[in-house]
A and B are shown apart, each in its own frame.
Chain A
């Protein structure tokens, strides 16, 4: 009865693609993603800057103040000859943001510097900056008093860069590990959407049909398994369409990103002439667009589809057993747990893609769609390992759709009683 599966899938697909929800999420999805990235970017950048502050300096040494100078002009140092008590009061009144007490023994090494303020300084960007300024001023003064030649100064101040290079069978890729982490993260995130969001759409659809009582008419025409499969495939097709649209946008975005980044780079800071080309600018800024190998993409699509299918089958079993959204919550938790776990472990996975944890997570079928794709994007994984993980996933899907369709078959016609997990297991075992 594959024809029935096709008819159900066709209507599920068309019905959903025509809704406002679909059009809006498809168009706004990328904007939401950009907004999300922009907010993260803004927050992390704003933690790198701080408001302008005025700091009173009580300099017991009498010579350090001249060296205290913030080039960015965010911290203004004002020397004060008043007694500490009155400076303290001035800070409390708000005349200064705080005051810095420099011990007279500080240059000889036994004294220390203390910063007093109403907010205590904290671990903010400001306190880090103040610390660095005081430290370098004191260090410079100490070196100066030891008559260290200026060449040594220069050597001490020279930057030390450490470059990251990814090794693989096909050669090496420079400067791209962060980029690969980002690619892995985006792929993991997309699979998360496929499993969780589209899985929930399947669950809602099953529930709606049961609540509307339409399901009795449909199962008097097609087998419950055909209805379930058609629904899962139809919604999957909708998801695939949405993802393809987003993927095209992301690819276009990646191709354009070089131009965008170059536009923000100032040739002067990279010691390049103002007439420097875009390529020269990007090379100097260490910016490379990571080239994604076709294998990464193929495995991504494969795990994306199977991950969706696995979770859609589980969610449909839940949807068939409840009549109210609230009742679904408690049954959803165990299904959602592995998805949440794979997101939680994303960071350690990106940091150590070949750790035991990473390997285990990428073999367990409930976490492998996200974990394996993220690992694969970052590091080289032997073919047998990916294949094994994929086969386990396929096998789990076949098992889960079989169990789910048995639960579904009974669940869709059960009304009035709130089902428990024990009920679901019992339904699955009914002949």
Chain B
């Protein structure tokens, strides 16, 4: 199975440097999480991998060959902005996409039926797309990406608009494809999903790759510097800690907080304060940072002191 290698790729639009000398690798049988704030250059990177646009410098290799029309046939793409022909029938349009990927007409029809079956949607075959709900269209859209059994799969926010049950069906399919040795690129802003699905991470900010590597290694490298605290009672002490620049509160609710230790603050400083001010503590755990925390830290560091909302 070929691996995907993005090698020193740069793309410029007028004066905007969309992607700046980016290099990373996605391996077969693994899922690479492609992350980054809006406008970071993710879509441009994906488009260059999909051979929709070409880089100004650098190259994208699939196996040991540059991507081109040949690799498009071996690649399935689910773009972030979903689109289907509204007035065309579901079966007809899926068959069309299959044929464009190089399947014969009869083979395309067979596979469309198979996949609709898989998603419990056999009776949609003859229905017009604009009669389907958003979630249904979402599944149809996913089928366009996997119909031709591609070696490389690019999924941009595949779970948006799906209910938990359908999301699970989709996740099963993605995991199956991974087990079958496909190379999968997964772009998302949903950090819990990234954490759950991805083996590797590539984080882009302002066109540059700021974090790249195996998810577990990255987490480890950030160290155990995050405290998960469940408590009862007043929470004013958290504000106090934060105003003294000792910590940053990442997630906060009435009785829960995810606390990031700053400036070498020791965990027991937080514990002391908590013991002094709360009525009860049901959890105090020192953990590796969450993906969300890594995202914020890395992007903030890259963009200077600018506050970033995820």
Query: Is B122 at the interface (CB under 8 A from chain A)?
Result: no
What residues of B have a CB within 8 angstroms of the CB of A218 in the complex? 97, 100
How many angstroms between the C-alpha atoms of A413 and B77 in the bound complex? Answer: 15
Which partner residue on chain B sits nearest A14 by CB separation? B92
Chain B interface, >50% SS class:
loop
Within 8 A of B (CB), among A28-83: none
B50 surroundings in chain A (CB, below 8 A):
220
Knowing A1-B69, A216-B52, the reply to whether A11 touches B79 (Cβ < 8 A) is no
Per-residue CB contact flags for chain B residues 60-83 toward chain A (1 = under 8 Å, else 0) read 000000000100110101010111
- Of residues 346 to 365 in A, which have CB atoms within 8 Å of B's CB atoms? none
Task: Kindly provide the distance from the CB of A409 to the nearest chain B CB, expressed in whole angstroms.
Answer: 9
Q: How large is the interface on B (under 10, 10 to 19, 20 to 34, 35 or more residues)?
A: 20 to 34
Stretch at the interface among A94-102, A185-193, A207-215, A333-341: A207-215
Also in contact, A7 and B69, with CB within 8 A (given A216-B79, A217-B79): no
Within 8 A of A (CB), among B25-59: 47, 50-53
Q: B96, A11: Cβ atoms under 8 Å? A: yes
Cβ-based interface call for B99 (8 A): yes
A220 vs B154: C-alpha distance when bound (angstroms): 11
CA distance A217 to B97 in the complex (A): 8
Q: Is B101 an interface residue (CB 8 A)?
A: yes
Q: Is B180 engaged at the interface, CB distance under 8 Å to the other chain?
A: no
Do residues B83 and A4 form an inter-chain contact, with CB atoms below 8 A? no
Contact of A215 among B77, B83, B86, B92 (CB under 8 A): B83
CA distance A222 to B100 in the complex (A): 7
Most buried by A among B50, B81, B96: B96
Q: Which residue of A lies closest to B72 (CB)?
A: A221
Q: In the assembled complex, how far is the CB of residue B148 from the closest CB belonging to chain A, in whole angstroms?
A: 9
How distant is A311 from chain B, measured CB to nearest CB, in Å?
Answer: 24
Distance in Å: Cβ of A66 to nearest Cβ of chain B = 76
Contact with A214, one of B69, B83, B92 (Cβ below 8 angstroms):
B83
- Interface presence of B84 (CB below 8 A): yes
Is the CB–CB distance between A216 and B69 below 8 Å? no
A214 surroundings in chain B (CB, below 8 A): 83-85
Is B88 at the interface (CB under 8 A from chain A)? yes
For residue B96, which residue of chain A has the nearest CB?
A11
Q: Which residues of B contact A212 (CB under 8 A)?
A: 83-86
B144 interface contact, C-beta 8 A = yes
Whether a CB of chain B sits under 8 angstroms from the CB of A131 is: no
- Residues of A near B88 (CB, < 8 A) are 15
- Alpha-carbon distance A8/B96, docked complex (angstroms): 8
Assess the A213–B82 pair: CB atoms within 8 A: yes
A223 at the interface (CB under 8 A from B): yes
Do residues B81 and A213 form an inter-chain contact, with CB atoms below 8 A?
yes
Q: Contacting B101 at CB < 8 Å: which of A11, A216, A221, A413?
A: A221
Let me know if A219 is at the binding interface, CB within 8 A.
yes
Proximity string of chain B (84-120) to chain A, C-beta cutoff 8 Å, 1 when within and 0 when not: 1110100010001101110000000000000000000
- Give the distance in Å from the alpha carbon of A79 to the alpha carbon of B50 in the complex: 94
Contact check, A8 vs B81: say whether CB atoms are below 8 A apart. no
Which residue from A213, A217, A223 sits with its C-beta under 8 Å from B69?
Answer: A223
In the complex where A7-B100, A220-B75 touch, is A413 in contact with B69 (Cβ < 8 A)? Answer: no
**Alpha-carbon separation in the docked complex, A390 to B88 (Å):** 38
CA distance A413 to B52 in the complex (A): 9
A220 touches B83 (CB 8 A): no
In the complex, which residue of chain A has the Cβ closest to the Cβ of B95?
A11
Q: Bound state CA distance, A8 and B101, in angstroms?
A: 12
- Asked if A216 contacts B83 (CB within 8 A), the reply is yes
Query: CB-CB < 8 A to B81: which residues of A?
Result: 213, 216
CB distance from B212 to the nearest CB of A (A): 24
Please state if B83 and A219 are interface contacts (CB–CB under 8 Å): no
How near does chain A come to B53, taking the closest CB pair, in angstroms?
A: 7
Q: Which residue of B lies closest to A410 (CB)?
A: B53
Q: What per-residue 1/0 map shows which CB atoms of A275-310 lie under 8 Å from chain B?
A: 000000000000000000000000000000000000
Contact of A213 among B47, B53, B83, B101 (CB under 8 A): B83
Query: Whole-angstrom distance between the alpha carbons of A116 and B84 in the complex?
Result: 71
Closest to B101 in A: A221
- Chain B nearest CB from A10 CB (Å) reads 8
Contact with B along A221-240 (1 / 0, CB 8 A): 11100000000000000000
A7 touches B83 (CB 8 A): no
Chain B residues with CB below 8 A from A216, complex form? 52, 77, 79, 81, 83
Residues of A within 8 A of B101 (CB): 221
CA distance A206 to B43 in the complex (A): 22
Min CB gap B55→A, angstroms: 12
Q: Which of B47, B51, B77, B100 lies at the interface centre, i.e. has the most chain A CB atoms within 10 A of its CB?
A: B100
Beta-carbon contact of B84 and A221 below 8 Å: no
- Give bound CA distance, A1 to B101, whole Å: 12
Using a CB–CB cutoff of 8 Å, the interface residues on chain A facing chain B are 1, 4, 7-8, 11, 15, 209, 212-223, 413
A-B contact pairs, 28 of them (CB 8 A): A1-B69, A4-B100, A8-B100, A11-B96, A11-B99, A15-B88, A15-B92, A212-B83, A213-B79, A213-B81, A213-B82, A214-B85, A215-B83, A216-B52, A216-B79, A217-B77, A217-B79, A217-B83, A217-B97, A218-B97, A220-B52, A220-B72, A220-B75, A221-B72, A221-B97, A221-B101, A222-B100, A413-B53
6 smallest A-B Cβ distances: which pairs? A213-B83, A214-B83, A221-B100, A220-B77, A213-B81, A220-B50
5 more CB-based (< 8 A) A-B contacts, given A4-B100, A221-B72, A221-B100: A8-B100, A217-B83, A218-B100, A221-B73, A222-B72
